[in-house]
Amino acid sequence: MIPVDGFSGQTVAILGLGRSGLAAARALRAGGAEVVAWDDGPRAAEIAETEGLALRDLTKPGACEGLACLVTSPGIPHLYPRPHPAISNALAAGVPVDNDIGLFFRSLGQGDWMHFDTPPKVVAVTGSNGKSTTSALIAHVLAEAGREVQLAGNIGRGVLDISPPGDGGVVVLELSSYQTELARALTPDIGVFTNLSPDHLDRHGGLGGYFAAKRRLFAEGGPDRAVIGVDEAEGLFLAGQLSEGAADDRVIRISSGQKLTGPGWLVFARKGFLSEYRKGRQVGSIDLREVTGLPGAHNHQNACAAYAVARSLGLAPRVIERAFHSFEGLPHRSQRVAEVKGVTFVNDSKATNVDSAKQALSAFKRIRWICGGLQKEGGLEPLLEAAGEVVKAYVIGREAEDFAMQLKGIEAEVCTDMATAVARAAAEAQPGETVLLAPAAASFDQYDSFEKRGEDFAARVIALSGS
């Protein structure tokens, strides 16, 4: 646990009693704070009693008076589309609003740090797609190299749940826009921006607000080194803002699909090969084509980001390459589930938006595509240009008919549920083809999470294989 510093003897309120809220409550009490809590859910009283927390309805007038801080969970809106009533009360009362990420950064660096030979480092990863894989890959490479590493944030453990890092330790954080937007303290040593595509637009008041939330990690966080994906205009702009010139190697520009040139520090992947350039000269390369845990151009971008971070932390290219080959990937992200009668089944349930599904479609040949779910803004038209390898689509979800109608030029069958989609795709697939779950939509019309959707797909595939 990371005890929260700065609130000893003061009252702090927790809004939301999920994983991050409960971890924050424990860490605040470990730091000497008096903690009260509120949650709109029906189990709030039961959870509070189990944790020994006093419940206070923060939505009532005057409930936030006298608080030193209100700590909110990331899923609770604080501005758009409208603030939660408790947050409105806190702001009206002049009470600072923070989250567990802000508490983590303000409290890290206590205890034995002054006696360490090598101060611990924090690597923070944000972006629209690839955050989880990039974060997990960084942690895997460091662990394989014998470095002390902990993975936390949006993946792994809650940030305040981890152990204080030791001498030379590294903490790798995956951070969503919900987390970077509100944290009052953001001070990573290395910041990573993977890419940007439209997502969570209602929460951020549009694409500009979404980018601004990501940008805070760099503009206000001031990392010593920034690894920036420059395949979109926003990343290119961010890299330009952070660097003092083309040769400023505090910014490492990364790309998948284009060769980067110039005197700076560059890492890019083209045609399956990763290349590292510094001062105009190639200093490292990796053949990614046989790295089975990182299929497709989108995963090659993740590899570039992880490689850049590992190099920043002093690892040699060959050490990184060996670790890449032992990386098995993450569940629900281009995860190879099984091969049945020559047909490969791949679970990419995490492809919850159009851009991530587009990347998944670009990674495989001869695809039987299972898609559909709760659609997000913007429609499906951008997907069509990447659907050249789709033999047929099998559409699930409550909006399956409408979803299928948008797949112009693609043969589509309305299946509605996963059981039907897997059975139909498996029955029609030919050896050498891939049955790919890449929904391009959220799961909440039929499942509690994208993980549950992916688990359902995998279970039905395993049943087919008889293993």
The reported pLDDT for the residue numbered 466 is 73
Contact in structure between 86 and 38 (CB atoms under 8 Å): yes
CA atoms within 13 A on the CB side of 310: 33
Cα(244)–Cα(232) distance, integer angstroms:
20
Among residues 122, 160, 152, 181, which one has the least CA distance to residue 5?
160
Ranges of beta strands (E only) in 348-431 are 367-371, 390-396, 412-416
Crossing angle (nearest 10°) for helices 317-325 and 131-144: 110
Q: Which CATH architecture has domain 11-98?
A: 3-Layer(aba) Sandwich (3.40)
The reported pLDDT for the residue numbered 316 is 97
Q: Which ranges of the chain have pLDDT less than 70?
A: 110-111, 467
Q: Per the CATH hierarchy, to which homologous superfamily does domain 111-325 belong? A: Mur-like, catalytic domain (3.40.1190.10)
The alpha carbon dihedral of 359, 360, 364, 365 has a sign of: negative
Shared fold status for 111-325 and 335-465:
no
The domain defined by 335-465 folds into Protein-Tyrosine Phosphatase; Chain A (3.90.190)
Contact in structure between 201 and 210 (CB atoms under 8 Å): yes
Q: Which residues are annotated as a binding site?
A: 127-133
Decide the pairing of beta strands 190-193 and 121-126.
parallel
pTM of the full structure: 0.85
Sorted by where each begins, the domain ranges of the chain are: 11-98, 111-325, 335-465
The reported pLDDT for the residue numbered 111 is 65
The reported pLDDT for the residue numbered 304 is 98
What phi and psi values does residue 431 have, to the nearest 5 degrees? -55, 140
The reported pLDDT for the residue numbered 172 is 98
Q: Which residues are annotated as a binding site for ATP?
A: 127-133
Residue 14 identity (one-letter amino acid): I
Contact in structure between 347 and 457 (CB atoms under 8 Å): yes
Decide the pairing of beta strands 251-256 and 225-229.
parallel
Two structure tokens written together for 97: 């609003």
The reported pLDDT for the residue numbered 86 is 97
